[in-house]
Amino acid sequence: MNPEIIRVVGYVVAVIAFVALNAAMLVWMERKVAGHIQRRIGPKEVGPFGILQSFADGIKLMTKQLIVPEGADVLLFKVAPMLVMIPAIMCFVTIPFSEQLAARNINVGLLLIFAIASVNVFALLLGGWASNNKYAVISAARAVSQNVAYEIPMLITAITVVMFTGTMNLQEIVLGQAGGFWNWNIFPVGKNIGMVVVMPISFLIFFICSMAETNRAPFDLGEAESELVAGFHTEYAGMGFGLFFLGEYANVFIGCSLSVILFLGGWQGPFGLLPGVHWFLLKVYFLIFVVMWMRWTFPRTTFYGLLNLSWKILIPISLFNLVLTGAFIKVF
């Protein structure tokens, strides 16, 4: 048998395990972070520091009765949660955790991630629509228009990075940022002094968009609980809901790791120190912490405020940024 296939299969298993464990860890982390921001301690009694809390939740969700609501489209209703998970797992294929640790080094890796991640919104739409619940339908419609709106500035800013680095291969993008934090794309003083103006803005737009893409607060309009009860997963019980949950955290991880790869040097150390998976995870988890921090600090925007932000502010700025990038690459 081709050892390459074994390697890929092994990697897929590892990725699934990683996604599940990582999501469990992130749920625990979210609750702990929330607790400490909110002057309480969060989960504490289940295992040391409450670390087993997510496993208890997992066991419970898996052993819960599954309900398909009356009038729902049974097939789509059951498919939707899986559709959330599958693209999330597939995205991990091309993410370089370190120089060696990547399943497949694809030379259009960035494009692949964007293409696959877009399926996610399809799952939300199906889930919301198949539930036969008005709240879920409204929420699904919201999620779709939100994703469409934020995909555009996100892609445009990604293009600035691609223009700057000249490649769509994630591994090469990371390699191009070697040598120290002054070579990172967010503030590339070491490489192109002109891009110093453009890249921080690109990073900001990219980060905001990835937060909106993953339906995280303050952009969590899809599951705005004070308006739409629980949004598109109102009718999902047990593990169906659990998969939506896992998918959300997997997407948060992908969004943050893309930010890290494109702008923060991927697995490169800040001073040209040992490169490796530790740096990568450290940076990603820091960004995830920032995402959580935002969630527990800000109230939710309105739907129209959200669309205005994208169409009227982020898209023009990102287009302007694109033009500047072209100019600076030519000039410097």
Among 88, 138, 250, 314, binds other proteins (CB under 8 A): 138
Scanning residues 4 to 43, which ones bind other proteins (CB under 8 A)? Answer: 31, 34-35, 37-43
Report if residue 68 touches other proteins, rule: CB under 8 A. Answer: no
Nearest-approach distance from CB 116 to other proteins, in angstroms:
27
Report if residue 92 touches other proteins, rule: CB under 8 A. Answer: no
Nearest-approach distance from CB 312 to other proteins, in angstroms:
13
**Which region among 99-107, 173-181, 292-300, 323-331 touches other proteins (by CB under 8 A)?**
292-300
Nearest-approach distance from CB 228 to other proteins, in angstroms:
8
Tell me whether residue 105 or residue 302 sits nearer to other proteins (CB atom).
Answer: 302
Among 11, 55, 285, 289, binds other proteins (CB under 8 A): 55
Tell me whether residue 237 or residue 319 sits nearer to other proteins (CB atom).
Answer: 237
Residue 45 φ/ψ, nearest 5 degrees: -90, -20
Nearest-approach distance from CB 121 to other proteins, in angstroms:
18
**Which region among 92-100, 148-156, 161-169, 296-304 touches other proteins (by CB under 8 A)?**
296-304
The binding site for other proteins (CB under 8 A) comprises 31, 34-35, 37-46, 50, 52-53, 55-60, 63-67, 134-135, 138, 217-218, 220, 224-230, 233-238, 241, 296-305
